């Protein structure tokens, strides 16, 4: 264990986009320099191999192919696994990876957490080393620690149908292709947290959820909105063994231990009862105490539908609300309309009537005129996801 503490320890000052951008940039430049083949005869470039397996990227990828009907990306590649020089016909979806990681987590939690440590390090290219230079361009390759990989392989020799080491390098190939994609789309990868980094940190977030270190809703909300759910650095340090040693944790205990408070999650159909009556509380969810203003009651409601998506509230989001019966124009409010609860913008008075306004890209939503007896129940403070 102590050995893994030394091997996997992550210096918090080393994990920023800017600090590792030189590696990411070099990898993108190398990948873009590779010549493309044809749809039927791709050119494959190997980024890792052993005596039986190799992981490579083939050009052109799907989004660069002549049959692709969407917006083409001329630099798109196809991550591939070869066994004895024969391509293993796999094209991993996020669902495929979720399924296999979930299998691992059911019986081998520690191996799964070790995998999470390696993926967190990979997100910031901490185990990517310069192998040589061709001309003026540097070349970096992924070298996950052998001792850690062997420890994982003792209990989980196969992940996604291949050895654990092959699986790690395959995810690295997918991450590289994502970096190339976002570079093509014009994102500044030195400043923006997008691309392969987010892929890796989403896998880490998934591992934290499977191993019981994080709640499921912290993963599902962001996934539904954007397709990725990158774990925060702080949550990773709280969830994974070894990446933060005991001495560092004790020095920075306030950074990693957050005082929490339980807030009720209320249902959407009060049925005549007050919104916060016990009958309407589905469960209690822990929220950072720093978010709670003394002297107020708070509740959480799960957003349904897309009527407020332009205001940052999407279907399935958990929304933290401060209980109060009055609001100002422009506030996002929780309103009780009969037995139904809705989140809308508190609009202006028109002919003496206050409107509740949707903020949505879906034009089917229209302003609501409250009936007598309808009331504001709270003010939206923030979306928790």
290: exposed, middle or buried (C-beta count within 10 Å: 0-12, 13-18, 19+)? exposed
Helix (H, G, I), strand (E, B) or coil at 164: helix
Q: Which residues neighbour 104 within 8 Å (Cβ) at sequence distance 6 or greater?
A: 111, 112, 115, 156, 159
Q: Tell which phi-psi region holds residue 55, choosing left (phi > 0), alpha (psi between -120 and 50) or beta.
A: beta
Q: Which residues are catalytic?
A: 307, 344
Residue 137 token pair: 């361009």
DSSP 368: B
83-90, long-range: CB < 8 A, 24+ apart: 83/52, 83/53, 83/162, 84/52, 85/54, 88/161, 88/162, 90/160, 90/161
Residues recorded for the chain: 385
Q: How far apart are CA 322 and CA 298, in angstroms?
A: 5
DSSP 113: H
Residue 92 token pair: 């991993």
Q: What are the Cα distances from residue 235, in Å, to 214, 257, 258? A: 8, 10, 10
Q: Which of 52, 224, 66, 49 lies closest to 131, judged by CA?
A: 49
Cβ density class 168-203: b for 16+ within 10 Å, e for less = bbbbbbbbbbbbbbbbbeeeebeeeebbbbbbbbbb
Q: How far apart are CA 210 and CA 375, in angstroms?
A: 40
Residue 365 token pair: 């939503």
């Amino acid at each position: 264990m102590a050995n893994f503490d030394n091997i996997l320890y992550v210096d918090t000052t080393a994990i920023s986009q800017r600090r590792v951008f030189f590696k990411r940039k070099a990898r993108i430049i190398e990948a873009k320099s590779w010549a493309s083949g044809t749809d039927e005869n791709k050119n494959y470039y190997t980024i890792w191999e052993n005596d039986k397996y190799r992981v490579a990227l083939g050009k052109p990828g799907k989004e660069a192919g002549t049959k692709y009907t969407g917006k083409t990306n001329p630099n798109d590649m196809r991550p591939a696994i070869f066994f004895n020089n024969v391509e293993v016909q796999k094209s991993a979806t996020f669902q495929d990876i979720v399924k296999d990681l979930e299998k691992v987590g059911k019986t081998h939690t520690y191996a799964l957490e070790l995998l999470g440590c390696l993926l967190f390090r990979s997100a910031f290219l901490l185990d990517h080393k310069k192998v040589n230079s061709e001309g003026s361009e540097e070349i970096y390759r992924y070298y996950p620690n052998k001792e850690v990989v062997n420890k994982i392989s003792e209990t989980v020799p196969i992940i996604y149908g291949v050895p654990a080491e092959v699986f790690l390098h395959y995810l690295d190939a997918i991450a590289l292709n994502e970096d190339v994609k976002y570079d093509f789309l014009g994102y500044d990868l030195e400043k923006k947290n997008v691309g392969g980094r987010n892929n890796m940190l989403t896998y880490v977030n998934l591992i934290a959820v499977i191993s019981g270190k994080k709640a499921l809703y912290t993963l599902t909300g962001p996934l539904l909105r954007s397709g990725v759910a990158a774990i925060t650095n702080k949550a990773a340090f709280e969830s994974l063994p070894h990446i933060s040693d005991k001495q560092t944790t004790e020095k920075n205990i306030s950074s990693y231990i957050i005082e929490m408070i339980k807030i009720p999650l209320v249902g959407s159909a009060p049925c005549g009862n007050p919104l916060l009556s016990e009958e309407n509380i589905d469960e209690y969810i822990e929220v950072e105490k720093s978010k709670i203003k003394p002297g107020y009651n708070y509740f959480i409601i799960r957003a349904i539908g897309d009527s407020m998506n332009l205001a940052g509230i999407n279907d399935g989001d958990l929304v933290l609300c401060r209980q109060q019966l009055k609001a100002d124009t422009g506030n996002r409010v929780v309103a009780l309309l009969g037995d139904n609860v809705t989140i809308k913008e508190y609009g202006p008075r028109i002919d003496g009537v206050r409107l509740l306004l949707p903020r949505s890209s879906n034009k089917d939503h229209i302003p609501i005129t409250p009936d007598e007896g309808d009331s504001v129940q709270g003010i939206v403070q923030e979306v928790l996801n």
